[in-house]
Chain A
Amino acid sequence: MRLRYRSRPVACRLRGSELELLEPFEGVAPGQTAVFSGADGAVVGSATIDRA
């Protein structure tokens, strides 16, 4: 999952609408777009951060 255009992907876990980052990531901000990718890099979805 990526939270910025130029940021590295970070592992995450989705539970309902709650997104848990499994590694540190500085500066998660409401309004940012989270883009989710599968293991092969395929983009499978996205969502907008509501609270952080």
Chain B
Amino acid sequence: MDERFEDHLRHPRGRGREPDGAHAGAAGGSACGDLVRISLRVEGDRVAAAGFEASGCGTTIAAASAAVELAEGAPFLDAARIGSSDIASELGGLSPGKLHAADLAADALAVALGKAVAANGAAPPADRILVAMSGGVDSAVAALLCARSHADVVAVTVELWRDPHNDGERSCCSASAVHGARGVAHRLGMAHLTLDVRDAFRAGVVDPYLADHAAGLTPNPCIRCNGSVRLDAMLALADRVGAGALATGHYARVGDDGLLRPALDEAKDQTYMLAGVAPATLARLRFPLGRLRKPAVRALAAEAGIAVANKPDSQDLCFLAGTGRAAFLARHGGMRDRAGAIVDRSGRRLGGHRGHHHFTVGQRKGVGVGGGTGSRSTSSPPTRARTRSPSGRGRRWPPSASRCAGSGCTATRTPSSA
């Protein structure tokens, strides 16, 4: 046994201590039975105090102790660079079978640090940029390009949703995605913070999504999320870490006039999803991928040895990840099947359905009434609700459309499209 390991085991640093005003993060506790809970308080730009609780094998206790010793008193941006390998080194090295304990301690430290910095961090302003990393290839390359163009880059991953029914490998905000993003950031030499915005995401995105589906509407939760939840939360964190701008892996550009413009890669353009972003927010965003095509992005990732270079693009809404929409609506919105008829505009029955929440307007696939081009509707139409546009806030807007921006639009189809 290395003497450093033995020292941490015999004299664990901060065990049983929870500093006043601390924020805590925990990891483990499931299959392995090991559990680490680290609590720490940030004052200004430093970790002022830290402590931990741990249960499990001796290596888990020693790893948590090492994490506390490395973090306490350090600038929080240095603490945000502490990973499993640093913790293992502090213990004089760990065998592959015991590295899991260092992973747990690093995970717990990252969660605690993210909460504490978001609440109390105050790093002096610097020529620093915050880059959003989701665990996918696009944001990893955005981080890579930031690292090449900026001396001082801090990475952040937002945790938006946690659902045991989701496929963690297909979700851009799962625990495994956060873990992967942190690994890439640390490999690039960046501090990495995890930002827990699950409550705001639930209230600002998922609950309206459920309500809109119940009302028979066709919501776009990504526009709502970008417009009022995650980008604003990350910019608030940018202020905490002294960063003036936030870079993301979106495929979009911003013109000299401050307006959002399509990406070079038209097939990947994401300006539609960013349309709800307020001008003041947009002014602080940077899109390093806006002038790149997707194959070039993957090539950059591969050249840099980034593990997710060939990770498939996510197709689902992040909170659906691997589950169906109907199952999600049933599980979280209580929307159960309620059979009805599918009819054409004249009322002629074309078939049956299990409930209107299985479909959206304009959907053809899966309707199950065969071909034809006529319009169909269900016999149990939901109540129509008037909605407000969240994306018209302060946007430069043609005067003729100003009323539309704030009050929702009525779309009138031309006769040929009906």
A residues with CB within 8 A of B: 2-5, 14-37, 40-52
Contact = CB atoms under 8 A, between A and B. Distances in A.
A14 B401 CA distance: 6
B178 to A, nearest CB: 25
Contact of B387 (A19, A23, A26, A30): A30
Contacts, number: 160
A5 B413 contact: no
B403 interface: yes
B411 A21 contact: yes
19 contacts: A2-B272, A5-B222, A16-B404, A17-B409, A26-B417, A29-B361, A29-B362, A33-B275, A35-B271, A40-B261, A42-B259, A44-B395, A45-B401, A47-B392, A47-B401, A48-B391, A48-B408, A49-B408, A52-B413
Range for the number of chain B residues in contact with chain A = 35 or more
A32 B269 CA distance: 18
B223 A49 contact: no
B219 A31 contact: yes
Nearest to A7: B272
B212 to A, nearest CB: 5
A17 B403 contact: yes
A46 B389 contact: yes
A34 B218 CA distance: 12
A3 B133 CA distance: 28
Contacts of A24: 413-414, 416-417
A34 B411 CA distance: 9
Contacts of A5: 220, 222, 270, 272-273
B255 interface: yes
A37 B207 CA distance: 29
Contacts of A21: 411-414, 417
* 6 nearest A-B residue pairs (beta carbon): A27-B362, A31-B217, A29-B361, A24-B417, A50-B408, A29-B218
A32 B224 CA distance: 11
A3 B176 CA distance: 33
B165 to A, nearest CB: 25
Nearest to A4: B272
A10 B404 CA distance: 18
B388 interface: yes
Contact of B389 (A15, A20, A28, A48): A48
B310 interface: no
A51 B218 CA distance: 11
B403 A16 contact: yes
Given A21-B413, A44-B259, A49-B409, 5 more contacts: A26-B362, A33-B220, A41-B261, A51-B410, A52-B361
Interface string B358-398: 00111100000000000000000000111111111001111
Contacts of A35: 271-272, 275
B392 A25 contact: no
Contacts of B114: none
B193 to A, nearest CB: 29
B259 A43 contact: yes
Max count, chain A CB within 10 A of own CB: residue among B272, B276, B405: B272
Contact of A42 (B255, B276, B413): B255
A37 B269 CA distance: 13
Max count, chain A CB within 10 A of own CB: residue among B261, B362, B390: B362
Contact of A19 (B217, B410, B416): B410
